[in-house]
Amino acid sequence: MTGFAQPAASPPPAANARLVTLRGRSGVAAGSYRYEGDAVDLSWHRHDLHQLEYAFEGIVEVETAVARYRLPSRQAVWIPAGLAHKSGFVKARTVSVFFDPVLVRDTAGRARVLPVEPVFREMIIYAARWPIGRPASDQAADSYFEALAHLVVEALDQERPFYLPTSTDPLVTAAMRYTDAHLDEVSLTDVCRAIAVSERTLRRRFHTATGMAWRQYLLHSRLLHAMTLLSHGDRTVLGVATAVGFDSASAFSRAFQAYTGQTPTAFRQERRRPPRLD
């Protein structure tokens, strides 16, 4: 995957997404699920439980009706119960923890990418000993997941901006597609020429549909794509900067650090360390 999946022209509402029940007849309050696989795209669905998915390696993308989230390795995505979404995985190893909504009260009802501090990560790893499909729970598991739920609540207030908006406006969707496909040298003039619209009209409709200016969208798309390139492949930092449209490595590094909290080199080194899942 070299960039975001194409934005949907009209994402289906939650009512049209199939409901996936995760705990069968056991009625456990929480549990985990491991995933390891190559390129997979799951269809639109929703869960009866909250999901916290942590990526040990690879790339995970989650699309909802209003946004597309990029999950680089060593980050987690929160997907609240009942939220219609679809997920894509590329050479990913993940572990998900599912919570009954009683354990984590999330009134926002939207997906979020969360930072994962070392203690939080180790607790997610340890949670893998209790699969969501187990036949019954026990006091140790219940106590453990209650403690983990408290950490989730704290993390929900520290979300990372690793997402792009989607739109049902076909003109705005076309602009997003063209932008994402030409990050190395795209301009607003290029986009407007490609989709046959004036710059004034596109600026107005883009902001109305997404709440952000086209140039802000471009910057976020470039940085999100850079995260993928830094996680995979052997390009230099300058090579990554050039590939996503920055004129210099220094300008790219400043923008990347402001967006992620890490320099490109530190980001790459962290994701190149062998992942641990045991």
Instruction: Report yes or no on whether pTM surpasses 0.85.
Output: yes
Cα–Cα distances in angstroms (integers) from residue 246 to residues 80, 198, 252, in the given order: 36, 25, 6
19 vs 265, residue with greater confidence: 265
Q: What is the mean pLDDT of residues 168-181?
A: 96
Please indicate, yes or no, if residue 257 is contained in any of the structural domains. Answer: yes
Residue 172 shares a structural domain with residue 247: yes
| 221: CATH | 1.10.10.60
pLDDT exceeds cutoff 60 at 166: yes
How many alpha carbons fall within 13 Å on the CB side of residue 229? Answer: 22
Segment 126-133 shows an average pLDDT of 95
Has residue 156 got a pLDDT over 50?
A: yes
Same domain, 38 and 112: yes
Q: Provide the pLDDT for residue 89.
A: 86
C-alpha to C-alpha distances, 154 to 30, 96, 120, 142, 183, nearest whole angstrom: 18, 18, 11, 19, 35
Structure tokens at 221: 């798309």
Distances (CA, A) of 91 to 25, 73, 155, 221, 275: 32, 11, 26, 21, 13
- What pairs with residue 98 in β-bridges? 31, 51
How sure is the predictor about 5, in pLDDT bands with cuts at 50, 70 and 90? very low
Same domain as 229, residue 197 = yes
Share of the chain above pLDDT 90, in %: 70
21 and 153 together in one domain: yes
**pLDDT tens digits, residue range 137-152?**
899 999 999 999 999 9
Place 92 in a pLDDT band, splitting at 50, 70 and 90.
Answer: confident
Residue 198 is predicted with a pLDDT of 97
Q: Are 173 and 9 in contact (CB under 8 A)?
A: yes
Domain finish residue from 115, 140, 158: 158
Average pLDDT over residues 55-59: 85
Domain that holds residue 69: 14-158
CA distance 34 to 231: 21
Same domain membership, residue 191 and residue 92: no
Which of 2-16, 83-97, 109-123 has the weakest average pLDDT?
A: 2-16
Range list of H helices, the chain = 118-127, 139-155, 170-181, 188-195, 199-210, 214-231, 237-243, 249-260, 264-272
Question: Domain ends where: 138, 158, 178?
Answer: 158
The structure tokens 């269809």 sit at 43
Is residue 39 pLDDT above 80, yes or no?
no
Cα separation, 175 vs 25, whole angstroms: 47
Is residue 38 in a domain? yes
> 3-class DSSP state for residue 218?
helix
The pLDDT-based confidence of 2 (bands split at 50, 70, 90) is very low
Q: Domain for residue 6, yes or no?
A: no
Q: What is the pLDDT of residue 278?
A: 54
**pLDDT tens string 189-233:** 999 999 999 999 999 999 999 999 999 999 999 999 999 899 887
What mean pLDDT is reported for the chain? 89
Quote the number of domains for the chain.
2
